[in-house]
Amino acid sequence: MLYYLFTYLHDHFNLPGAGVFQYISFRFGMTVILSLIITTVYGGRLIGLLRKKQVGETVRSLGLEGETQKQGTPTMGGLIIIAGILLPTLLFAKLENVYIILMIIATVWMGTVGFIDDYIKVFRKNKEGLAGKFKVVGQVGLGIIIAWTMHDHPSIVTRQKVNGPIKGENIEMQQNFDGTKSYYNVEVKSTKTNIPFYKNNEFDYGKVLSVFGVPDGKYAFFVFLAFVVFIITAVSNGANITDGIDGLATGTSAIIGATLAILAYVSGNSIFADYLNIMYIPNSGELVVFAGAFVGACVGFLWYNSYPAQVFMGDTGSLAIGGVIAAFAIMIRKELLIPVLCGIFLIELVSVIMQVSYFKYTKKKFGEGRRIFLMSPLHHHYQKKGYHESKIVTRFWIVGIILAVITIVTLKVR
């Protein structure tokens, strides 16, 4: 909203300084600052309200050190994160941008699913919360919205190089980054995405079924939809599982968000996209503004969520964070980098799957269940080994930073 106000003042009254709102970098910085203010200043007030309403976490007895001190800690703190994301975005982003609209929908959608889950746990006194099948319905629903919009919306296109002059709309001539060769660009609807460590750096969903003799492009939407639903479900569940000790999911998500901001900036800038030889996605640079709000919200929430936590994000926050990260990566066509970038979420999720599967297998074969880890998810395994929460969180953050650097490096390493 402020973007439109200052754009109007700049265009009609030539207000000094109003033109800075045209720069994504300025609006990125402003969303980070405002998001930090919202989460740190007003977050404390929300925590006080949650305490007053007795919205406390019921901690299961897992035999972990310090778990009794967490009993009654306010939960549903994800509302702070959601407010820190949405308000700066509404103020500084271009609200007609289809990517921004989708990110707002993803935040509210998954935040609502998580809120319902927390509400059932806290106010209905049901420890199980929202049934798993309803969570999956929510995740699938968001996946359908994103996949359908990306497939059919006319503003969601990619720019591809073509040989020789051709006639049509949205065509421009451009030189290579080094100025050695000219070529033509055309904006087209595409089922392609970026793939790491591969020379041509592109993967086409429309060709996945060609190995079964299906013509290229046929059923491409359904293949893309399956990928989108799987990614959203996996990442949101991974974030949910990672949110097990103070500050782990929040700090990890801030690192991921900062990396996604860099990826969105280079993907939405034709010069950098050409230099890095990656897919240029018109209008996607606006997502950098949203990423600023996301990073600011996560870092600001850490003010209260770091050890010892004064508030837990609950499923309201963890499912929203996971949904946002997945949707963001899909929109900038970097979803195949998620196993690297979101490696912490992945290993946490896989540790649970391995533990449960191995326990069931050994119980069926030997009559008693056996375990791979002392406890899953993986962070609880290290707690059982005697590591303090703060040390575990710090080391996981370091791993997350390493994975973020590797993700960025993949833009050039093929």
The CA distance from 215 to 302, in Å, is 50
Rounded mean pLDDT of 156-167? 70
pTM value is 0.92
**Residue 380 CB-half CA count within 13 A:** 20
- Buried-state track 153-172, b at ≥16 Cβ within 10 A, e below 16: eeebbbbeeeeeeeeeeeee
Q: Tokens at residue 34, please?
A: 């405002």
Band of residue 59 on the pLDDT scale cut at 50, 70, 90? low
38: which DSSP letter?
I
**Average pLDDT over every residue of 183-204:** 81
Length of the chain: 414
pLDDT tens column, 86-113? 999 999 999 999 999 999 999 999 999 9
Q: Look at 122-131, 179-188, 355-364 and tell me which has the smallest mean pLDDT.
A: 179-188
User: Which of 161-165, 220-224, 327-331, 341-345 has the weakest average pLDDT?
Assistant: 161-165
CA dihedral over 356, 358, 361, 365, signed as positive or negative:
negative
Instruction: Classify strands 171-175 and 192-194 as parallel, antiparallel or unpaired.
Output: unpaired
List 56's β-bridge partners, or say none: 74
Asked if pLDDT for residue 272 goes beyond 80, the answer is yes
Residues facing residue 183 across a β-bridge: 174
Contact criterion met (CB below 8 Å) for 33 and 296: yes
Predicted local distance difference test score (pLDDT) of residue 275: 86
Higher pLDDT, 238 or 202: 238
pLDDT of the residue at 267: 94
